[in-house]
Structure 1
Amino acid sequence: MTELMHHIKELQGVLGPDKVYTDKVTRIAHRMSHSPEILLHKDRMDDFLPDAVLCAECAEDIVETIKFANKYKVPLIPQGGRIGTQGSQGRRGAIAVSLHRMVKILDFDEENEWVVVEPGIRVDHLGEFLRKKGYCQLEWPTTRSATLGGRVGTDGYDRWNLRWGRSKDSIIAVEMVLPDGDIAVFGEGSNKPIKSSMGFDLKDLFIGSRGTLGIATKIWVKTPKLPPVESWGYRAFPTPEDMVKAQIDISTDPITSAWVWRMTGAPRWVFERTFKIFANATPHEELGAILDFNLFGTEEIIVDVKKRIDKIAKKYGGFISTHLPEEEAFGKAAYTNRDLGINRFAALAGDRPIDGGRGGMWTPIDPCVPNSTALEY
């Protein structure tokens, strides 16, 4: 029995047995995250098994747990959707702090275009709420079962990253429970217009800290109105190098960068495995890489921007293939969670378990690496 188990009944007495769990089934459910790298650990069954799980329902539950943890020197592991690649795994001797019960939409301010939510709400549930009202969900990662609290912890990339940035850009403010149990709100001021800075930008210090500096209990998120028309498209390229050159030009063009909200590129070796695994087919030899994208605007804007994209793509040999479905349909299908997931599983069928890496994605370790070096990479 670990030291924590000698004192856990004290916390259960404060919060109740329906919030603090020590049974093995609950602990196993909060042991692992989405990351396959955890499977490389020899003793993964025990090393990542937390001693207890807190299912918090409000900020006060977290405050009491932090006081308990400080008293007995117990590690806390904040957990969101546990679909990220690192940071939310349990560990022996620790309490996993699950926020999945904190799912309320606390306020929706249409005039100022923001929504206030609890950290356990899933991005797909929030997105459904906002879309029905004609507003855009900016916090939209690859996996829609991610939580807003997890987004605070990771500062992740989003579906609309090209247009709206990452989590630090879309999150206006956060309420945090700090390591001493105090509760504080950190933000950037009003949404429209943005006020001048009046002090240290502490909000961005917490976003991306992976729960090491505090636990988010309330989150303010930007929610711009959706443009009237959404469109999809793609361009195929002879080589991945050609695709990267076109992607850089489109993302830096003053017109296309304003209306293209998302671009995703895939080299041949990624979708080649997808074709083989799921269709037992080989993509046509002309397909060296594929770049798909989303556009938003009016009908007139969409037509003009697609013409400009076509002009840029043709500089690098870009084309619409007769060996793929119609452009709009293929572009729309290319970024569904299912297809992106297939590409990643196809990557796992290669050398990733042996050599590591990020499957079909490239991610520079140095945050100062500019896009212009992507081609050499």
Structure 2
Amino acid sequence: MSFFTSPQVQVSSKAIELLNGVLGKENISTAESVRDHHSRDESSLQAFLPDCVVFPKDTLQVSECMKICYAHSLPVIPFGTGTGLEGGITAVKGGVCMDLSHMKQILSVNQEDFDCTVQPGVTRMMLNSDLRATGLWFPVDPGADASLCGMAATSASGTNAVRYGTMRENVMNLEVVLSNGDVLHSAGGGRRTRKTAAGYNMTNLFVGSEGTLGVITQATLRLYGIPEATLSAVCQFQSVQSAVDATVATLQAGIPIARIEFLDDVQMKACINYSNLEGLQELSTLFLEFHGTDDSVKAQADVVGEIVQLNEGSDFMYATEAEDRNKLWTARHSAFYAASSLRPGSRILTTDVCVPISELPEIITQTKNDISKSSLLGPIVGHVGDGNFHTLLLIDPEDESERKIAKDLANRMAQRALAVGGTCTGEHGIGIGKRHLLAEELGQVGIQTMRSIKEALDPKGIMNPGKVFL
């Protein structure tokens, strides 16, 4: 991928000298290779080089760096693991990329209270590995091994959201360094209660803010007990409609299902070949998982099996052993890379929407038909248990006509979602890829209110500029 340098802002030698004084020369880089690594995420959107990359080691260093950037009006782009999908960490106006990966301490785990506090370099896999001996886990699972504070910044969710919720429901408190270097605790210093009625909900103001309001340097998160029993299953359908109808019926029956994931026939072709899934066909497919006691997961699976049969689905293929379950869900999490293998050398323009559950069968069918009429390959996958699904549109990165076709497909998908009371993004965020849709979704008053908040917290406009707003 090519990248742009930005002529708007250049970090002066004086600013570099001041940053060196805070961080030490070994924790700041202007090398092109380092800047290039921090110029893009996993999307196919244009990359932009920051002027420099800094690696703070604690909140104090983040605060001191922000004071310098504020004084010199330098853009600051927080960087976690770079696994986003809407260009949220690209340096569209140059400036300072703040890589938080060196801040990777798990600061506390409170087993009796089911919560923990982590620094921004801690990833979800790192946390769950550390928690294993406690019998607790953090279930929000976007697929990539993303940083937990980055997941808060983008309001991530994933395969477990239907039962355990998204980051919005699982973040209890945030430590945020504001644009002027002030340090804010969104729920108050040291607070970690399950609920509060004390003032504005500042925590959820920063969840989903995509680095445009401040730098998240700590997150206090809810934890859950590891289920006594886990049962995974796969079933297949002759049509998209039948698979999604079975999903809706399962949810309407009140089954406390932990995961229910949809993969269309094109995505299944990719996953079968990429992940060596034996015994499955290139058909619309549901991956399911049940959590609870031995008796309860069997009872849940029996009821859902009956619903699947009523919707002309296949018998369940069960995965009860941990190794088999891991293979199944690794295949689901590898869907992005499996899709890429369908067209070697291609890039993926991916997008997501979320709609009310009752609207899901129709909108997925319409999207499938729209892609089929185009000249592009476009697998569909979905966290259909909460009305969220994705398209993975494979394009030749050098062919602008294909990029336009893909953008038009993605835009029509978003417009269909908005028309039925949905959102243009369930979990990817706005970044630079969906700014044009946000105004339509929120309306003029909504956008102006968001701008007023942005201006109050970031009066110089240095926090991740060019994102969220046009």
Q: What secondary structure sits across from 2:113 in the alignment?
A: coil
1:268 partner letter: D
Q: 1:331 to 1:320 in 2, by over 3 A?
A: farther
Tell me the residue number matched to 1:226.
226
Corresponding residue to 1:315 among 285, 310, 315 = 310
C-alpha displacement of 1:351: 12
1:195 and 1:281 map into 2 onto residues whose CA distance is 46
Find the aligned partners of 1:165 and 1:253 in 2 and give their Cα distance: 19
Q: Provide the C-alpha distance between the structure 1 equivalents of 2:308 and 2:212, rounded to a whole number of angstroms.
A: 44
For residues 204-243 of structure 1, the aligned pairs below 5 Å read: 204-243=204-243
State how 1:134-213 maps to structure 2 within 5 Å: 134-144=135-145, 146-187=146-187, 194-213=194-213
Is contact 1:274–1:343 with CA below 8 Å preserved after alignment?
A: no
Could you tell me whether the CA contact under 8 Å between 2:22 and 2:61 is conserved in 1?
Answer: no
Provide the C-alpha distance between the structure 1 equivalents of 2:117 and 2:277, rounded to a whole number of angstroms. 47
Higher RCO (Cα < 8 Å, 6 or more apart): 2
User: In the alignment, does 2:35 pair up with 1:34?
Assistant: no
> Per the alignment, in what secondary structure is the counterpart of residue 334 of structure 2?
helix
Structure 1 residues 79-118: aligned runs within 5 Å = 79-86=79-86, 87-91=88-92, 93-118=94-119
Higher mean displacement: 173-182 or 272-281:
272-281
Check if 1:19 corresponds to 2:10. no
| Alignment-derived partner of residue 61 in structure 2 | 61
CA distance in 1, matches of 2:105, 2:168: 21
Distance 1:355 1:29 in 2: 19
8 A Cα contact 2:258 2:289, kept in partner:
yes
CA 1:3–1:116: 2 relative to 1, 3 Å: same
Query: Is residue 11 of structure 2 the alignment partner of residue 4 of structure 1?
Result: yes
Residue 10 of structure 1: how far off its partner (Å): 2.1
> How far off its partner does 1:355 sit?
9.5
Moved more, 158-167 or 24-33: 24-33
Residues 109, 273 of structure 1: alpha-carbon distance in 2 compared, 3 angstrom cutoff: closer
Aligned to 2:328: 334
Letter in 2 for 1:96: C
Q: Alpha-carbon deviations, 1:14-55, whole Å to 9, x = none?
A: 3321222222232222222121x13xx4xx4xxx11111110
CA RMSD of aligned residues (A): 2.8
Shift of 1:61: 1.1
- In the alignment, the residues of structure 1 paired with residue 120 and residue 275 of structure 2 have an alpha-carbon distance, to the nearest angstrom, of 36
Q: Which residue is 1:346 aligned to?
A: 339
Partner of 1:78: 78
**CA contact 1:51–1:92 (8 Å) conserved in 2:** no
Q: What secondary structure sits across from 2:104 in the alignment?
A: coil
- 2:109 aligns to what SS in structure 1? strand
In structure 2, the residue matched to 1:375 is 361
Counterparts of 1:267-346 in structure 2, within 5 Å, are 267-275=264-272, 284=281, 288-320=283-315, 327-328=319-320, 332-336=326-330, 338-342=331-335, 344-346=337-339
Number of positions where the alignment pairs a residue of Structure 1 with one of Structure 2: 351
**Matched residue, 1:264:** 261
> 1:311 Cα shift?
1.4
2:177 and 2:341 map into 1 onto residues whose CA distance is: 38
How far is 1:133 from its partner? 1.4
TM-aligned CA deviation for residue 276 of structure 1: 5.5
Over 3 Å counting, the alpha-carbon distance change for 1:25 and 1:226 in structure 2 is same
Q: Distance in 2 between matches of 1:354 and 1:78?
A: 25
Q: Distance in 1 between matches of 2:344 and 2:32?
A: 34
Question: 1:231 Cα deviation (Å)?
Answer: 1.3
Return the alpha-carbon distance in structure 2 between the equivalents of residues 142 and 210 of structure 1. 18
Which AA in structure 2 matches 1:265?
F
Task: Give the distance between the partners of 1:179 and 1:252, measured in 2 at CA.
Answer: 45
Return the alpha-carbon distance in structure 2 between the equivalents of residues 276 and 58 of structure 1: 44
Query: Could you tell me how far apart the structure 2 residues matched to 1:52 and 1:14 are?
Result: 15
User: Residue 18 of structure 1 aligns to a residue in which SS?
Assistant: helix
Cα distance in 2 for partners of 1:252, 1:123 equals 31
Which structure 1 residue ranges, 5 or more long, are not aligned? none
> Any unmatched runs of 5+ in structure 2?
1-6, 364-470
Verify the 8 A CA contact 2:231 2:289 in the aligned structure 1. yes
The alignment partner of 2:26 has SS state of coil
C-alpha separation in 1, matches of 2:24 and 2:205 = 33
Deviation at 1:333, TM superposition (A): 2.8
Counterpart of 1:78 in 2: which secondary structure? strand
TM-score using structure 1 length: 0.84
Secondary structure, counterpart of 2:232 in structure 1: strand
Distance in structure 1 (CA, Å) of the matches to 2:71 and 2:336: 47
Would the aligned equivalents of 1:139 and 1:148 in 2 still touch at CA under 8 Å? no
Structure 1 residues 31 and 233 mapped into 2: Cα distance closer, same or farther (>3 Å)?
Answer: same
Between the aligned residues of both structures, percent identity stands at 22
Q: Is the 8 A contact 2:176 2:185 kept in 1?
A: yes
Q: What TM-score results when the alignment is normalised by the length of structure 2?
A: 0.69
SS of alignment partner, residue 317 of structure 1:
coil
Q: Displacement of 1:348 after TM fit?
A: 6.8
* SS of corresponding position for 1:4: coil
Equivalents in 1 of 2:208, 2:66: separation in Å? 20
- Shift of the alpha carbon at 1:373? 1.2
C-alpha deviations, 1:306-339, integer Å up to 9, x for none?
1111111112112227xxx655476653321x55
Pick which of 306-315 and 101-110 moved more: 306-315
Q: What is the alpha-carbon distance in structure 2 between the residues aligned to residue 151 and residue 226 of structure 1?
A: 21
Quick check: 2:177–2:215 contact (8 Å CA) kept in 1? yes
Q: Distance in 1 between matches of 2:232 and 2:340?
A: 25
1:64-87 deviation digits (Å, cap 9, x = unpaired): 111111111110000111011120
- CA offsets, 1:198-245, max 9 Å, x none? 211111010010100011111101111112111111221121111111
Q: What is the identity, as a one-letter code, of the residue corresponding to 2:328?
A: A
Is the 8 Å Cα contact of residues 274 and 341 (structure 2) preserved in structure 1?
Answer: no
After superposing on structure 2, the runs of 4+ consecutive aligned residues of structure 1 that deviate more than 4 Å are: 188-192, 276-284, 325-332, 350-357
Cα offset for 1:181? 1.2
Query: Is the 8 Å Cα contact of residues 174 and 218 (structure 1) preserved in structure 2?
Result: yes
Aligned partner of 1:24: which letter?
E
